[in-house]
Amino acid sequence: MRPLFRMWFLIVIACFVLNLSSGRMLIVLVGYAIAEYVDQRLAKRTREKWIADVMYGWDQCADGTEYEEKGNLTRVKLTGQNQIVAARVADLLRGAS
């Protein structure tokens, strides 16, 4: 997780324009860093939950062998190469932080 240094620069400039003391500028920068960290963690958790919901928990449909169901949703079961591609895309999305 990398901080947005452009935003830090804008905060410092705004603090100079508003004539804030160094201590208050530090408080604003630390507050922004904490808020940014929490935001990135929540985004990562939401992304992982969404991927797990799409990938797991599907049961074989009673009507046909090529379908899977989850609650009131039904989808075609991926086979062979398509399943490999879907798993790799999911791994790439999990790694993108």
User: Which residue ranges make up each domain of the chain?
Assistant: 1-50, 57-97
Does residue 36 register a pLDDT over 50? yes
Residue 10: other Cβ atoms inside 10 A: 11
CA neighbor of 40 nearest in space, from 88, 83, 87, 2: 2
Does residue 1 register a pLDDT over 50? no
11-25 mean pLDDT:
91
Choice between 35 and 75, residue whose per-residue pLDDT is larger: 35
Does residue 34 register a pLDDT over 70? yes
- Look up the pTM and report it: 0.55
38-61 mean pLDDT:
82
CA neighbor of 73 nearest in space, from 90, 54, 87: 54
7-26 mean pLDDT:
90
Residue 71 region by backbone torsions, left for phi larger than 0, else alpha for psi between -120 and 50, else beta: left
